[in-house]
Amino acid sequence: MSILRCIALSLSLAVLSSAALAQGKTAPKDAKLYFITPYDGAKVRGGFLVRFGLRNMGVTHAGDDYQNAGHHHLLIDVNDPIDPKEPIPQDKSHLHFGAGQTETFLELPPGTHTLQLVLGDAKHYPFDPPVVSDKITVRVRQPSQRGK
């Protein structure tokens, strides 16, 4: 029995360590990432505040390698699936909040846009399983002073 237990332990250790090597730090199963504002389907005019909600995990500075903590990334109009083996891209549609920010003021051109949050680890990799929010849609209307 003890031998079996030893084997099981070493197996599970091996699995864990290989998971750690393949980037993608593990995240608690009940971690939940969500938008506090805006809500899905919201209609906004001009700039609007986006606030990020995270449950059962902590927000920290990028580069800080604490267990169960990460930093926010806001994906705007991104349709490509998240690649767990690559750092979350950095460009105008993947905004990074590596200083530990939990909200941002967004100005988007008029039209329909999708927003999604992805939590990244110290090195900007998604967690395993990825901690992502639902993808929400916002409709940005023409700024009032110019409309009609």
Partner 1 sequence: MGEIRNFRSGNHDEPPPHGSMPRRLAAIIVGDIASYSRLMQADEEGTHLRVKRIERDLIQPSIIEHHGALVKTTGDGFIAIFDSPVEAVRCSIVIQQNLVGRNASLPKETRIEYRIGVNLGDVIVEPDDVYGDGVNIATRIEGIADPGQVYISGAIYEQIKHKVVCGYESLGDRKVKNITDPVRVYRVLPDADAVGKTRGRRENTLIFLLGVTLLVIASGVLWYLLAQPHGKGTEQAAAPTAAPVASPSPQSQPRDAAQAPQPSPSLAASSPSPSPSAIPVREPEMIAIRGGSFAMGSNDDATERPIHQVAIKPFSIGKYPVTVREWNECAAAKVCGFVAAGKDDAPISNVSWADARQYAAYLAEMTKKPYRLPSEAEWEYAARGGTQTKYWWGDKLQPGMAGCKDCGDLAAEQPAKVGSFKPNPFGLHDMGGGIDQWVEDCWHKTYQGAPADGSAWSSGDCTSHVLRSGSWKNDSRYVRPSNRDGYDTNVRYPTHGFRVALSP
Q: Which residues from 117-146 bind partner 1, rule CB under 8 A?
A: 123-124
- Burial of 55 per CB tally in 10 Å (0-12, 13-18, 19+): exposed
Closest approach of partner 1 to the CB of residue 95, in Å: 10
Query: Of 9-17, 20-28, 50-58, 89-97, which segment contacts partner 1 by CB under 8 A?
Result: 89-97
Residue with smaller CB distance to partner 1, 3 or 99: 99
Q: Can you tell me the distance from the alpha carbon of 95 to that of 20, in angstroms, rounded to the nearest whole number?
A: 25
Residue with smaller CB distance to partner 1, 92 or 148: 92
Which among 33, 90, 84, 39 is positioned nearest to 62, based on CA atoms? Answer: 90
Q: Which residues from 10-69 bind partner 1, rule CB under 8 A?
A: 61-63
Pick left, alpha or beta for residue 10 (phi over 0 → left; psi -120 to 50 → alpha; otherwise beta). alpha
Does 91 contact partner 1 by CB under 8 A?
Answer: yes
Residue with smaller CB distance to partner 1, 51 or 55: 51
Q: Which residues bind partner 1 (CB under 8 A)?
A: 61-63, 87, 89-92, 96-99, 107, 109, 123-124
